[in-house]
Copies of this chain bind each other. A is one copy, B any other.
């Protein structure tokens, strides 16, 4: 039995364990920077397997984290995590939102292969109807308003499965493996702070993945790489004016309301770009304090995207101009706070070819014909990929194909858990192909 067969066999054997783990993560879904229970469990398991484990501020550079919730929320969530069975030793390191874990396995001389698994849930209220499998089978989220509606419960689980299999074949490997369990991918808030801590420096290969829906009759288990993930920047925008009684002296206020409205209409109207796709969204607005008061404060959550980083910059600059102009026009002030950002990403052809070859020739797993998917989304694995690629390394972001019950971010999202052992095989087979 060669190593590829060993990988395949072991992945299939641990499949039930993976399903159980994924359902545990699903049940105790934690949004970005709140993955305290999740991180503590991952750290515990990696430690038990024999990995060198980084936690707390060893993972994310504290000040480089984006979109971190308030101290009150972090404290409250910490208490929740502890109450929900977080590992008592490791949870301490996650205080204040210092979530994320890195497991390192050093096997002598050889290249460094990093793998990235994101672990955070979304701010979605999960479906409670029994027609939704998690609800029916008892692993629906118990954390009201948090839900793994994008499959990161699976990603974290895959990472643990990969850790287990790689450890079992470590004597055949030559080089270093880094398993990066990244927090706060939603909102593209976490990857940058890991890159800024230097964890991608010296990495020769980076492999990431995301579950992705497939057609019923598509036998393929993986798309070996992606293009078309958009560069993006997320902003919280604040407007400040002066309130006044709307009936008694409306002219004495500085009204943020028309400033916000002007910003919204003009933001959506930023010119389309002949160089490629662009996106703009004003996702949320909260403005004003009372019906009969000239509004003196507003907050908008917005994002811009671009097919290239340059287009994204064009959007950024135009958006800033609009927001400043809209505020000044009404005697108000504005402020923009970056809450997340990602580059556009491009998988390296050589690494995609390697994944394809390993899957088809060694693992006998069908691979999708497509090697790219243009989907308008954004991924902050792009920060990690760019750092690796800048150093001459290779990176790919794969799609683990599976049957999904609803689109990502939907309250009825679920996926076929066969994806879990499949992904473990693809990751481990590829790592062995590089380090074997």
Chain A residues proximal to chain B, CB less than 8 Å? 123, 187, 230, 232, 234, 245-253, 255, 257-258, 260-266, 268-269, 271-275, 277-295, 298, 301-303, 305, 314, 321-322, 324-326, 328-331, 339, 375-378, 407-409
Contact = CB atoms under 8 A, between A and B. Distances in A.
Contact of A258 (B269, B328, B408): B269
B279 A283 contact: no
A396 to B, nearest CB: 21
B272 A283 contact: no
Contacts of A187: 291-292
A344 to B, nearest CB: 12
A275 B251 contact: yes
Contact of A301 (B248, B284, B291): B291
Contact of A249 (B123, B247, B274, B294): B274
Nearest to A274: B249
A2 to B, nearest CB: 40
A321 B325 contact: no
Nearest to A302: B291
A161 B246 CA distance: 33
A230 B247 contact: yes
B274 A284 contact: no
Contacts of A305: 247
Contacts of A253: 271
Contacts of A261: 260-265
Contacts of A123: 290
A322 B314 contact: no
11 contacts: A247-B279, A248-B274, A257-B268, A260-B285, A262-B262, A268-B269, A281-B291, A283-B290, A291-B301, A325-B325, A325-B328
A377 B292 CA distance: 9
Nearest to A278: B272
Contacts of A303: 246-247, 291-292
A262 B284 CA distance: 16
Nearest to A230: B247
Of the listed residues A247, A286, A326, A408, the one surrounded by the most CB atoms of chain B closer than 10 A to its CB is: A247
Contacts of A273: 250-251
A285 B283 contact: no
Nearest to A289: B284
Given A272-B250, A290-B123, A328-B321, A409 B282 contact: no
